[in-house]
Structure 1
Amino acid sequence: MKYLPLRPLVSALILTGASSQAFAVLGLNLSVDIRSLTMGNAVTADPPGISAVHFNPAGLTKLKGLQTDVQGIVANFDIQREFSAPAGYNVFGYSDDPLICNDAPDNPSNLCTSYKDKVNGDVEYASLFVPFLNKTVDLGKGWPVLAPTGGVSYNPPGSKFTYATAAYAPLVAGFGAENGNAGNYMGQQLAIERITYLSPSIAYEVNDQLSIGASIGMSYQAMALKTDLRFPNEMIGVLRMINENVCTPFKGNSNAITDLILFGICNVDEGMNPFGQFGKLEVQMTQSLSPSFNLGLMWEPTDEFGFGLVYQSPAKMRLRGKYMINNANAPRQLISGLNSSATGQILAAILDFPSYIPPTESGLVSMNLEYPEHIQAGIKYKILPDLQVNVDLGWTDYKAWNSFTFEFDRPISALKIAKLLSNNVTNNSLTLPLGFQSPWNWGIGLEYSATDRLKLRAGYEPRTSSIPDDKRNTMIPINNAQLFGLGIGYRFDEDTDIDLSLGFLRSRDNIPANTSTLSNYTGIDNLLLNPYAGLNVKTNTKVTILGLNYRTRW
């Protein structure tokens, strides 16, 4: 019984925080520069035009005179989610989960007699959070995510300094689904984005072989979530058993004695069910200015070989926003029943339980969040006069997301319950342990100069997940991934270049029942979030990116 009010708020905050961070892993560098995509993001030693602001500011010294760079990136997210019941599936003896059970709702048996082979909860459309309007917009089925970017650079005649700024999106991702989708218990609608709208940069050519550079990024960060909530937990199963077996003889004819003995929990019209919906939650948090900086070095001792190094600083943020919860009837009635009995009131007072749970709760929430630091180094080498290979190795400090804390503008009734179960909770704060990892990643790219005007590019980047195996889930539909890129570059004249690029990222994940504490873990200790407890879960994510870049010199 202690677990019950620990429902929408705490669990949805885990969804909000964990999903935003893991989507950063998924979307890293997918919407910054299309030429980089085609080279497996192995461009530290050969940064692409004004996008060197992000990849290696030292590369800006390659740009002479006044240059502008405009590109449009179109990304389509195809996310498939599948659920199935393993042999022996049950939650405290109950297996009639309507999500995967074919039995009629009025079937008196607690055990499912006919399971669905599999249930699909695929993402149905892309979603975007509109900056400053603080509103999430569904783009409709078949509509991709658009990310236009642009920049300008200037190298005064005869000067060793180059100045630049660019607007780009280090991270843009979002998806949504209609009501009734099986995947809605881990996000009916999600939108995550980081937009760098200003990046003043400077690069200095030390000599013909060595350049250094620095940039300051001023970014907008946002995350928004709308989700259904349910808690197929053993303790909820106990309450269903009490309601259906112990309380049945007293329904409609309870008295003071039974109320005292049973703490009033039988005085409800709707009992608890581990497969029932507990509520709906909406959360959004933003920060309008999130500063960071990049430092770069580029060394080219010969025409055939070059080395690049970049350091991207962490960005420490204080996100602020709002939450709103629509509480379902069953948990509200349980707390009301508890407080209808003298013994229940005493128990509630001892445990500091709330006396009432409203149908709707709302308030302000904030959290400290660090966008992690990143270090990457790479080389470029011409193995043939017309064929260049780039290889990069990078590391991102995702361990910075080992845990983070949500803070509220008022005491929250749900947290009053949660603090009895965890040292990470107070009346108005919640610390979430995530245990992210900091893997190394590499990428490789090839560029072939077919003619003086035409260049062909291909790249590959295998991405090792920073998400531990026991934290995988359907809201972050990725574990390990592979990024492939193909591109064509064409020079119309000495001042104008156009690039056409195609990128494809894929990731498949299999989460067997009882293996992830943020998805399908069973047992009495899965106290926070496991909407698919006991079920097998599979995801299949495909991201297709098409981009067009136009660069000109004035």
Structure 2
Amino acid sequence: MRQRSLRRTLVLAAACSASACMPAYAALTENLATSPTAMSLGNAVTADPPGIESIHFNPAGLARLTGEVHSHTVWGASIRNHNSFDAPDGFNVGGWTQDPLDGTSTGPVRQKLYLPVVGMRGWRMPAAVVPGLGVAYNKPDSPFTFGTAAYVSQAMSIDRSTNPADPGRFDGKLVQLQRLTYLSPAVGYKVSDTLRVGASVPISHSAFVFNTDMRMPNIFLGIVGKTQQGWCPDDGGNILDSFGIGLCGGGSEGKLSPFKRAANLNISMTAPVDPTINLGVLWEPNDWFGFGVVYQGGSKTRYSGRYTFTTDPMVKRFVEGLNASLYGPIVGAVLGMPQTIPEVQSGNLTAIIPFPTHVQVGIKVKPTPKLQFNVDANYTDWGTWDALTFKFDQSVKLLEVARMFGIPDSTQLTIPRGYKSVLHFGYGMQVQATPKLKLRFGYEPRKSSVPADKLDLVAPLPDTKIYSVGFNYQFDKDTDVSVGASYMKGDYRVPANGSCNLNCNNFFNIIYNPYAGLDVTGGIRVRYLGATYTKRF
């Protein structure tokens, strides 16, 4: 009966993880949506890995389990990200001194869901609620313990689509990056009474969805737009211009403005099967001290999917007017510009978006039988996100316009990131309040992997602090529940020209600084609540 129960749980875990609604929220995240127990202890659990969740945090911890163990988890998370935009004194983008986004602020932020196989759903939620399952089995007197679990190992989600005029729409109307581990075969081995080792192979489904309106405020566009204002009549009928380069040939729609929407980009990609490896060691020489280390391998995840560029009349008409003049085609040929731009261009694309390697080392100390302190050091190799390159199946006509700005290959789009690999610490405290009740407290000051001069609204993550509380209640020797709640906060201020992923005002900054010359201030708030029910057989 026990073996049948184990098989049923394994099948249920696989089915649930393949179909569960796995959301994500904004941040470069590791360990933010994986375990209520770990969250309540500031994710400082490498030296005291929590049950089946050891598969992720330190697979050596599996070898501490005996018999058959089932865990059922549910958690919810909400994100709030606010931003405001202000023009400093002397604001000027190629002669334009009034940006319509000056003095505006972003509106509500929600989460969306990406379902494996099904795709992105249209549901928008103020908070996301997600289930999870895990199972482990240890044969009596065997040094081996086997298990598997389903969990979210990476998540980032921003949905700003409520208000079509939201100023944040120019740097990610929708951003969804999630990595769902749906199967994670794992083994823990008890070397001795004090030393355990373990390994797991998380097999994950990754999804990346990005939709953004695009505007390209820079000095060159501003100068050309101002030239058109002085040279071109409102109806576009300047006869002299027809014998020139055709600045007026696009009519009123073809007049350039650095502040108007130029296009919309929509990308949807997945990597359905992407395995990595976790390796862990746990040393507990006595009851009051423990040491743990885990290596979570990364991968160069290869995504494939679809893209759609929708070009607004401003750029389309400008190019058509240029090519309808006498010398415009010559200028266009020299600059590598297209003869025409379709309103909609779509096709297939691929990209390699690295899943970074993570290393965590921790200790636990119990100065008294009822009091325990945990400290962990975390290192994640986000430096692999120096730039993200998307390769298209054809030359994108809209990108051909950007050749004059140093974009030589219109079959691919490279978005600079410039992220850094950083070290941060997590701290946890556990108090045995009663024989059945443990109280938990956590604090995790996270140094951001996004340098201040690389910050943008796609990943609005400055240095943050996470405050957590939780408890574990033991109903009987075989049944317990763990609950954790966390609050993350961080604020930022990016002055004009402070980040060339956001607001630089230079001649060649067309990709991508949608808030060129503006001061940007904002912050991020994440609230998390989760619970895990564990049953032993």
Given the two structures, how large is their TM-score scaled by the length of structure 2?
Answer: 0.92
Q: Deviations over 1:103-141 (max 9, x none)?
A: xxxxxxxxxxxxxxx42203332222222122243324x
Whether 1:169 aligns to 2:152 is: yes
2:200 corresponds to which residue? 215
Change (3 A) 1:37 1:190: same
Segment drifting more, 519-528 vs 498-507: 519-528
Paired with 1:253 and 1:157, the residues of 2 have a C-alpha distance of: 89
Q: CA deviation at 1:96?
A: 2.5
Paired with 1:341 and 1:469, the residues of 2 have a C-alpha distance of: 45
Paired with 2:413 and 2:84, the residues of 1 have a C-alpha distance of: 31
Q: Deviations over 1:131-155 (max 9, x none)?
A: 2122243324xx3112211100000
Paired with 1:236 and 1:419, the residues of 2 have a C-alpha distance of: 14
In the alignment, is the contact (CA less than 8 A) between 1:160 and 1:205 conserved in 2? yes
Q: CA deviation at 1:436?
A: 1.5
1:90 corresponds to which residue? 92
Q: Percent identity?
A: 37
1:260 corresponds to which residue? 243
Aligned to 1:245, the other structure's residue is in SS state: helix
Matches within 5 A, 1:80-479: 80-100=82-102, 118-140=103-125, 143-177=126-160, 178=162, 179-248=164-233, 253-255=237-239, 257-261=240-244, 263-269=245-251, 270=253, 271-422=255-406, 425-479=408-462
1:553 corresponds to which residue? 536
Paired with 2:121 and 2:260, the residues of 1 have a C-alpha distance of: 27
Q: CA deviation at 1:505?
A: 0.8
Q: CA deviation at 1:415?
A: 3.7
Q: CA deviation at 1:343?
A: 1.1
In the alignment, is the contact (CA less than 8 A) between 1:24 and 1:171 conserved in 2? no
Aligned to 2:91, the other structure's residue is in SS state: coil
For 2:96, the aligned partner's letter is: Y
Segment drifting more, 339-348 vs 87-96: 87-96
Q: CA deviation at 1:530?
A: 1.3
Q: CA deviation at 1:417?
A: 4.0
The match for 2:471 among 474, 488, 492 is 488
Aligned to 2:243, the other structure's residue is in SS state: helix
Aligned to 1:353, the other structure's residue is in SS state: coil
In the alignment, is the contact (CA less than 8 A) between 1:220 and 1:287 conserved in 2? yes
In the alignment, is the contact (CA less than 8 A) between 1:72 and 1:548 conserved in 2? yes
In the alignment, is the contact (CA less than 8 A) between 2:261 and 2:312 conserved in 1? yes
Structure 1 ranges of 4+ moved more than 6 A: none
Q: CA deviation at 1:252?
A: 5.0
Q: CA deviation at 1:306?
A: 0.5
Change (3 A) 1:153 1:45: same
2:55 corresponds to which residue? 53
2:37 corresponds to which residue? 35
Paired with 1:242 and 1:222, the residues of 2 have a C-alpha distance of: 44
Q: CA deviation at 1:425?
A: 4.1
Given the two structures, how large is their TM-score scaled by the length of structure 1?
Answer: 0.89
For 1:226, the aligned partner's letter is: N
Change (3 A) 1:404 1:275: closer
For 1:322, the aligned partner's letter is: R
Paired with 1:430 and 1:243, the residues of 2 have a C-alpha distance of: 29
Q: CA deviation at 1:552?
A: 0.5
Q: CA deviation at 1:191?
A: 1.8
In the alignment, is the contact (CA less than 8 A) between 1:395 and 1:438 conserved in 2? yes
Q: CA deviation at 1:369?
A: 2.0
Q: CA deviation at 1:23?
A: 7.2
2:495 corresponds to which residue? 512
Q: Deviations over 1:212-270 (max 9, x none)?
A: 0000000010011222111121111111111111223x955433x53233x11211222
Change (3 A) 1:476 1:225: same
In the alignment, is the contact (CA less than 8 A) between 2:26 and 2:158 conserved in 1? no
In the alignment, is the contact (CA less than 8 A) between 2:298 and 2:356 conserved in 1? yes
Aligned to 1:510, the other structure's residue is in SS state: strand
Paired with 1:96 and 1:419, the residues of 2 have a C-alpha distance of: 27
Q: CA deviation at 1:24?
A: 7.9
Unaligned 5+ segments in structure 2 are 1-23
Q: CA deviation at 1:352?
A: 2.9
The match for 2:75 among 73, 76, 92 is 73
Segment drifting more, 185-194 vs 442-451: 185-194
Aligned to 1:240, the other structure's residue is in SS state: helix
Unaligned 5+ segments in structure 1 are 1-21, 101-117
Q: CA deviation at 1:420?
A: 4.7
Matches within 5 A, 1:491-502: 491-502=474-485
Paired with 1:124 and 1:439, the residues of 2 have a C-alpha distance of: 28
In the alignment, is the contact (CA less than 8 A) between 1:128 and 1:173 conserved in 2? no
The match for 1:531 among 494, 498, 514 is 514
For 2:358, the aligned partner's letter is: H
Paired with 2:237 and 2:207, the residues of 1 have a C-alpha distance of: 53
Q: CA deviation at 1:539?
A: 1.3
For 2:461, the aligned partner's letter is: I
Change (3 A) 1:252 1:313: closer
Paired with 2:91 and 2:450, the residues of 1 have a C-alpha distance of: 26
In the alignment, is the contact (CA less than 8 A) between 1:99 and 1:182 conserved in 2? yes
Q: Deviations over 1:183-224 (max 9, x none)?
A: 111122222211000000001000001000000000010011
Q: CA deviation at 1:390?
A: 0.4
2:4 corresponds to which residue? none
Change (3 A) 1:533 1:444: same
Paired with 1:302 and 1:252, the residues of 2 have a C-alpha distance of: 85
2:3 corresponds to which residue? none
Paired with 1:404 and 1:132, the residues of 2 have a C-alpha distance of: 24
RMSD: 1.8
Aligned to 2:28, the other structure's residue is in SS state: helix
Q: Deviations over 1:168-187 (max 9, x none)?
A: 01123323232111211112
In the alignment, is the contact (CA less than 8 A) between 2:25 and 2:78 conserved in 1? no
Aligned to 2:181, the other structure's residue is in SS state: strand
In the alignment, is the contact (CA less than 8 A) between 1:168 and 1:195 conserved in 2? yes
In the alignment, is the contact (CA less than 8 A) between 2:44 and 2:427 conserved in 1? yes
Aligned to 1:483, the other structure's residue is in SS state: strand
Change (3 A) 1:329 1:402: same
Aligned to 1:258, the other structure's residue is in SS state: helix
Paired with 1:136 and 1:466, the residues of 2 have a C-alpha distance of: 30
In the alignment, is the contact (CA less than 8 A) between 2:269 and 2:304 conserved in 1? yes
1:3 corresponds to which residue? none
